[in-house]
Structure formats: C-alpha cells, structure tokens
Amino acid sequence: MITDADADFHEPTSDGQTWAETNFFGCYVPGATPDAAPINIGVYALFRPNAGVVISTVHINSRFVDQPWQGDFWDAQHHLAIPEPRNLRDYTLANGLSVKTIEPNRVWDVAYSNGRNVDLHFRYTALMPAYDISDPAQDPITAAQQADTSFAWGAAYKGHFDQTGRFEGELTLRGQKHAIDCVSTMDHSWGLRDEHQGHNMTWLHAHFSKDFAIHGIFDLDHSAGPDTPTEGAVTHGYVLDHGEVYGIRAGRNRVIRQGFYAKALEIEVEDVRGKTHHLTGFGRTSFPWQAGPGTVGYNVLAEWRRRDDADARGWGEIQEFVGPQFLTDLYSARAAAAASAAVDGAH
C-alpha cells in the first residue's frame, strides 16, 4: 500500500551504488488535425542517493526517428548532483528541471527550461490512488503469485507504483507554443536498479478520457530480432473505469514491429470483474529513449482504438525496454552467422 511517506526518499536497503529512486512524467499533445503530428513528451529523474548523483532526461518528439538527436529535443545528463538538503518532494536540478509535490502522490508541479529554446511546465493531478504492483490487495496477479508457495519475492515486485492522471500546462518549443491538456500515466520506483537492463519488458498505457484508461506491463521477448512480431503475457496492470480501479488478472499483447518499434499492437486483458478489454494501437511517433546508459527504451506514442466503442480514440505510450548487452549479443550472433554463410558460399 502506498502512503504519503512514499513521496519522500526511501531509506536504502543497501549501501550499494545502484540503489535508485525514480520519477517519470510522460504526457503528449495530440495532433490538432488528423494530418498534424502529435508530440510526445517525457521527463525523467533517476536518483542514486548512495552515489550522490542524478540521471535526468527530457525528450520531446513528433516524428519517427532511430537516433535521439533526430527528435525534436533531447537532453540527457547523467552526473547531476543531488541538491542538498535532499528533498524528493521539492527539488531543482542543474539541468533546469524542477519538481514540486503539492499533494503527496497526487499533485505535482513540473517545470523544465534549457535556458534557450525549450520551456515546459505542467501540473499533474491524479485521477486514482497510486497503484502498488506489489500489493496483493490491489494487484490480482501479485495476489496469485503470493499464494503460490514456490513464488519468491524479487526486486521487480517491490517499490513501484503507476498512476493515471491529468496533465495541464504548456510547452514552448523553439518559439512555438503548445497547450498540454491530456490524460496520461506517471510512475515512481525505488530499490536496487542495476546499470544494465536485466530483463526485457513492455510498459504501456491507453487513455480515452478521464473516465477510461488502461495501463499494463507485459513480458517481452526480442530474441528473434528486429521486424519480428512478438507476444507477451501481462504481468501487472489496471483498468480505470469512471473513477474506479480494477486490477488486471490475465491477458496478452501481440505486436507488429518495424525494427524493434511497435508499429501496431493489440492487447486483450481481463480485469477482476471478469470484463475483457480489446484495444488496438498504432504507432504515431518513435524515439529510442535511453533512460540510462545501460538500457534502451523503444518508445512509441500510439493512437488507440477500442473494440467495444468504434468511435473512441485514445492516446498513450508504448515503452519497450531492452538491454544494450542483449542487443550486442543478438547482432554479433547475426554477423557471425552471415560471415559463416559467406564462407560456405565461397566454397
């Protein structure tokens, strides 16, 4: 269960350098017309209290890109000092990012300026309580795992919540102003987090209004390489339906890929009411978000459809995380196979 105290820094359970505390705020500006490009916005801070530093990234993008510098804006700084005295409820970093808690785990004011051509500010207001994926009272998949005597708690099931809310503010990007008024999902994590991405995962959400949204975390297997369709089982998630939150107890996703990006995606999930939800998402932007040097997030802002409401249109991000070491193993194996085939062909 998440309490007001979880808005503060947590006492590290280890003196290791990889203990981390994170905040992520992701929002978007839908296209003003069907032909206009939407804008995806991500603001992230990863504190390493035992090391005294912060990794922070700010990315803004309205296109399909393969390199972060091809996007509209990318600011990644990995050795910012943690401001003293340390206060996760109210901090300003040297990269121009400031985050202030107005109501713990419910309302934040976020602002960023690079001092030159990007200014961003918004208020995030929660539409639901924080969803604790390690709390069996909230998450039915965690409850089932806890009931299994062979299940052992791991770091992935501790210190994390997701939450859907409303973002209201403004982005000024190279002199052009864009109003921000959307429903999206933030998260907050704490615990040991290695420099290397240890497992692949899909973290996604679809928002149709303040009354209906779906968030899910899914297994991800990229071992077949780029351009290969994938399927993954849901591991945690919820449905926000007219102010009530219903944990997801089962489901899968199916992804058609362009490279490693989700070009189109279907999800089918069942919530604790026994109600099944079918969604289809179509990638409208792509961006390779490196939240840290040891991970790659193949991020897509998707436009979503609901099978049970043909007129409904939603927006939300698909974030798919893969470790660079996994990718180098994959591409090295492919290069070796191609070289071997070339030698065999020469004979």
Q: Read out DSSP for 22-90?
A: EEEEEEEE--SSTTSPPEEEEEEEEEETTTTEEEEEEEEE-SB-SSGGGSSEEEEEEEEEPPSS--TTE
* Whole-angstrom distance, CA of residue 309 vs CA of residue 205: 17
User: In this structure, are residues 77 and 53 in contact, taking their beta carbons and an 8 Å threshold?
Assistant: no
User: In this structure, are residues 28 and 317 in contact, taking their beta carbons and an 8 Å threshold?
Assistant: yes
Check whether the bond before 83 is cis (ω within 30° of 0): no
pLDDT in tens, 127-143: 999 999 999 999 999 99
**pLDDT of 278 above 60:** yes
* Whole-angstrom distance, CA of residue 67 vs CA of residue 101: 33
If you search the block for the tokens 């979880």, which residue do you land on?
6
pLDDT in tens, 192-228: 998 888 789 999 999 999 999 999 999 999 999 999 9
pLDDT bin (cut points 50, 70, 90) of residue 243 is very high
Instruction: At 117, list the tokens.
Output: 């051509």
In the chain, % of residues over pLDDT 70: 96
Q: For residue 71, what are the domain limits?
A: 4-346
**pLDDT of 291 above 80:** yes
List residues bridging with 117 in a β-sheet.
Answer: none
Q: Which amino acid appears at position 127 of this protein?
A: L
**pLDDT of 342 above 90:** no
CA angle 197, 200, 203 (to 5 degrees): 105
Q: Stretch 304-308: mean pLDDT, rounded? A: 96
Phi, then psi, of 327 in degrees rounded to 5: -65, -40
Instruction: At 321, list the tokens.
Output: 């995380």
Its pTM stands at 0.94
pLDDT of residue 150: 47
* Whole-angstrom distance, CA of residue 35 vs CA of residue 91: 39
pLDDT of residue 151: 40
Instruction: Report the candidate in 258, 269, 253 with the shortest Cα–Cα distance to residue 221.
Output: 253
Tally the domains of the chain. Answer: 1
Alpha carbons within 13 angstroms on the beta-carbon side of residue 105 total: 20
- List, as own/partner pairs, every contact residues 73-78 make where C-beta atoms lie below 8 angstroms and the sequence separation is at least 24, other chains included: 73/114, 73/118, 73/173, 75/114, 75/118, 76/290, 78/53, 78/292, 78/293
Largest distance between two CA atoms of the chain: 71
* Whole-angstrom distance, CA of residue 85 vs CA of residue 288: 34
**pLDDT of 345 above 90:** no
Distance of CA 255 to the CA centre of its chain: 17
Non-local CB neighbours of 205 within 8 Å, separated by 6+ positions: 164, 184, 185, 213, 214, 215, 216, 316, 317
CATH number at residue 148: 2.40.370.10
pLDDT of residue 199: 83
Q: Which amino acid appears at position 140 of this protein?
A: P
pLDDT in tens, 150-173: 444 345 347 999 999 999 999 999
**pLDDT of 250 above 90:** yes
pLDDT of residue 155: 54
pLDDT in tens, 69-126: 999 999 999 999 999 999 999 999 999 999 999 999 999 999 999 999 999 999 999 9
pLDDT in tens, 15-32: 999 999 999 999 999 986
pLDDT of residue 156: 37
Non-local CB neighbours of 29 within 8 Å, separated by 6+ positions: 38, 39, 41, 171, 178, 179, 180, 182
What's the chain's average pLDDT?
93
